[in-house]
Amino acid sequence: MSFSKRLHEKLQPIWRKNHSHPFVRGIGDGSLDQKKFRFYMVQDYLYLIEYAKLFALGAVKASDVETMARFASLLDGTLNEEMSLHRQYAARFGISETELEQAAPSPTTLAYTHYMLHIAQNGTLPELLSALLPCSWSYWEIGKELSRKPGAIDHPLYGEWIKMYSSREFGQLAQWCIELLDQHTAGKTEEELARLEEIFLNTTRFEYMFWDMAYNESMWPFDENENAAI
Ligand SMILES: Cc1ncc(C[n+]2csc(CCO)c2C)c(N)n1
């Protein structure tokens, strides 16, 4: 069995939880409070700034020019396509690009991005791929599922989001990362695979936490101005 198939089967229970999270369901049926979506967009923009660096580090760690070029194109796609959608949504909410970039990251955004960057900077290429894959793979699965809901892609606010993440180009990107991970894990020992599985599991958990953070609009659980002693 390929490593990606093993991961997919093992982590289905958590992935299903993502699909049934009220934030994801709310995008699909249009019932999501726009204020929560606005909060998500800002945090996701901060997330993507850091996430894009994983692709840059992927190019650094690649051992052939073709793989380097794919990482370079993923970096370009994130900065200029995916983040462009976020900038357009932000504009609709009256948030400028500077405000987006200077927003304060939530504890979950900080923890998730720092964990991924730690793996990407200190780990091997398969470790980097295990950290970044749950992100593109789970969004593609969510995008595809939501796009099948009648009327979902025509929603005036959430339709564009669903269209982007269910698109063929987006699927091809996730597929490329999956194939690269499978190539790099063929013949690895069980011990090495278990380490990669742990990284994949951690970023899968963070994906769920990100939906939950957005739904609850969670920032730090105390008010710094109220209690100066903290
Ligand atoms: C928390 C969070 N997780 C995953 C994605 C989706 N995503 C981020 S980068 C990328 C690859 C190509 O740009 C994909 C699919 C997101 N936006 N936010």
Domains of the chain, first to last: 3-216 (1.20.910.10)
How many Cα atoms are found within 13 Å in the side-chain-facing hemisphere of 20? Answer: 6
**Atom 2, ligand 1: residue with shortest CA distance:** 135
Residue 206 CA: nearest ligand 1 atom is 1
| CB neighbour list of residue 143: distance below 8 Å, 6 or more residues apart | 162, 164, 165, 166, 167, 170
Of 82, 179, 207, 226, catalytic = 207
Cα–Cα nearest to 28, from 18, 43, 38: 18
- To test the pocket of ligand 1, the residue of 48, 109, 176 to mutate (highest count of ligand atoms within 8 Å of its CB) is 48
- Name the DSSP letter for residue 80: I
- CA-nearest residue for atom 14, ligand 1, is 136
**Rounded distance from Cα 214 to ligand 1 centre (Å):** 14
Q: Using DSSP, state whether 93 is helix, strand or coil.
A: coil
- Give the other-Cβ count within 10 Å of 222's Cβ: 9
CA 32 and chain centroid, separation: 19
Query: Cα separation of 55 and 64, whole Å?
Result: 15
Pick the closest to residue 211 from 40, 9, 46, 14 (CA basis). 40
Q: What is the ipTM of this complex?
A: 0.95
| Residues lining ligand 1, Cβ inside 6 A | 44, 47-48, 51, 74, 77-78, 82, 135-136, 139, 173, 207, 210
Q: Give the pLDDT score at 224.
A: 73
Give the model confidence (pLDDT) of 41-100 as tens digits: 999 999 999 999 999 999 999 999 999 999 999 999 999 999 999 999 999 999 999 999
Pick from 77, 57, 81: nearest CA to 67: 57
What average pLDDT does range 110-134 have in this prediction? Answer: 97
130 in Cβ contact with 181 (< 8 Å): yes
Give the residue, by CA position, lying nearest to ligand 1 atom 18.
Answer: 44
Ligand 1, atom 5, residue with closest C-alpha:
135
Taking the C-alpha atoms of residue 36 and residue 220, their distance in angstroms, rounded to an integer, is 16
Q: Confirm whether 207 is a catalytic residue.
A: yes
Q: Model confidence over 152-186: pLDDT tens digits?
A: 999 999 999 999 999 999 899 899 999 999 999 99
Helices (H), the chain: 3-19, 22-29, 34-61, 65-77, 83-92, 97-102, 107-122, 125-147, 159-166, 168-185, 190-216
Select from 24, 42, 51 the residue to mutate for testing ligand 1; criterion: most ligand atoms less than 8 Å from CB.
51
Residue that is written with structure tokens 């999956």 in the block: 178
Q: Confidence band (pLDDT; 50, 70, 90) for 222?
A: confident
> What is the spatial distance between Cα 230 and Cα 220, in angstroms, rounded to a whole number?
12
The pLDDT mean for the chain works out to 95
Q: Backbone phi, then psi, for 222, in 5-degree steps?
A: -155, 160
